[in-house]
Amino acid sequence: MQDTIWMNGRLIPASEAVVSVWDRSWMYGDGLFETLRIHHGRPFRWPDHWRRLSDGARQLRLTPPYHEGELKDALDLVVQANQLESGMGRIHFSRGVGVRGYSTRGAHSPVVVIAALPFPRPPSNNSQRLTLHLSSIRLVTGDPVGAYKTASKLSIILAQLEAEESGASGALLTDGLGDVAETSRGNLFWVEPSGRIVTPPLSTGILDGVTRRVVLEICEELDLKHAEARITPNQLIGQRGAFVTGSGFGLEAVAAINQTPMPPPDPLERLQSRYLQRLELGH
C-alpha cells in the first residue's frame, strides 16, 4: 500500500480520508500535532514525542481517544503500510465537530490522523548551513501553548513568508521582550566566545523541541559547557556561530543572519556525530 494513513482506527488511502468542513481544527486551528523522525522503520525518541503530545493535549483540555500504546502501534502500522525506511511520522489530533463558535461544547468526537511521509528533501549527514532573516513577528513570552505543536501555526508561517521574501531560508523570531526565541526551522543554539553552547529558555515561548533536548543531553555526555540564557539579535550576531535543531534534519549550521555572515560553530561536528550515533541506536 502507498500513501496510506491511519484515521480513527482504520488504515485507508489518504485520497479517501474525509474530515468535516465543521471540524474545529480546520475552522479554528483547534488541534494538536506531532512530527517525529522515522529511522530504519522505527520512530526516534517516541517517549519524548508522546510526552509532548499528551502534555499538549492536557493543556488544550483535549482528551485523546487512544492510549500511548495504541497510537504507537498505529504509527508502526502506517510506517509498514507505506514501506517507509526513513522519513517523518505525523500524528494529528483535532477536537472534532462541536457547536458553531469558539466554545468547545459538543466536541466530543476527536479526529486522529497518522501519516508516514518521506523527507521533503533528503537529510544530510554533513552540517547544512542556512540563512536567517530577523522577523517582525514576535512570540508571546510565557505562552502556555508555545511549547507544543498546535494546529495554529500562523505566526511561524508569516515569519517564514517574510524570510523567503527577503531571500533567506528561515526566520529568526524574538519574544515579547525582544530577545531571541527560535527560528521557523526549529530551536536555536549559539556558541559563545568562551565556547559555551547556549539555547533560549522555554520561558521565551519556544517549542519544547525533542532534538533540542537530545543536544543538551549530548552536551552533558561530551562534557561541553552549556546553558539556557537570553540574548538579543545584535548580540547573537557577535557569537562564535549558531545552529538550529529539528526532528526532520537534526542539526543545521547558520550561515548568516540578516546577511551578516556567521562563523561555522566549532562544536557542531562533534554534536552531529553523536546525534547520528544516537539515531542509529534508536535513543
Residue with cell 539579535: 233
pTM of the model: 0.93
Please identify which residue in the block is written with the cell numbers 519556544: 206
Are 195 and 158 in contact by the 8 Å Cβ rule? The answer is no
Q: What is the CA radius of gyration of the chain?
A: 19
Task: Report yes or no: 105 and 229 within 8 Å, Cβ to Cβ.
Answer: no
- Other C-beta atoms lying within 10 Å of the C-beta of residue 254: 30
Q: Cα dist. 242→38, 83, 188, 218, 283 in Å?
A: 26, 36, 7, 17, 25
Instruction: Output the pLDDT for position 142.
Output: 82
Where are the chain's structural domains? 4-117, 128-281
Work out the angle at residue 227's Cα, subtended by the Cα atoms of residues 180 and 274, and round it to the nearest 5 degrees.
105
Give residue 252's identity as a one-letter amino acid code. Answer: E
Per-residue pLDDT of the chain (283 residues; tens, 9 = 90+): 469 999 999 999 999 999 999 999 999 999 999 999 999 999 999 999 999 999 999 999 998 889 999 999 999 999 999 999 999 999 999 999 999 999 999 999 999 999 999 987 655 544 457 999 999 999 988 888 899 999 999 999 999 999 999 999 999 999 999 999 999 999 999 999 999 999 999 999 999 999 999 999 999 999 999 999 999 999 999 999 999 999 999 999 999 999 999 999 999 999 999 999 999 998 8
3-state SS class at 157 = helix
The cell for 122 is: 533528503
Question: What pLDDT is recorded for position 121?
Answer: 66
Q: The CATH number of 4-117 is which of 3.30.470.10, 1.10.3720.10, 3.40.50.300, 3.40.190.10?
A: 3.30.470.10
pLDDT at residue number 126: 45
First to last CA, the chain: 29
Nearest to 88 by CA among 113, 114, 60: 114
Nearest 5°: CA angle at 37, between 128 and 71? 165
Identical fold between 4-117 and 128-281 = no
Specify the residue for cell string 483540555: 61
Can you tell me the distance from the alpha carbon of 199 to that of 22, in angstroms, rounded to the nearest whole number?
Answer: 40
128-281 is classed CATH 3.20.10.10 = yes
Give pLDDT, residue 89.
Answer: 97
Q: What pLDDT is recorded for position 42?
A: 97
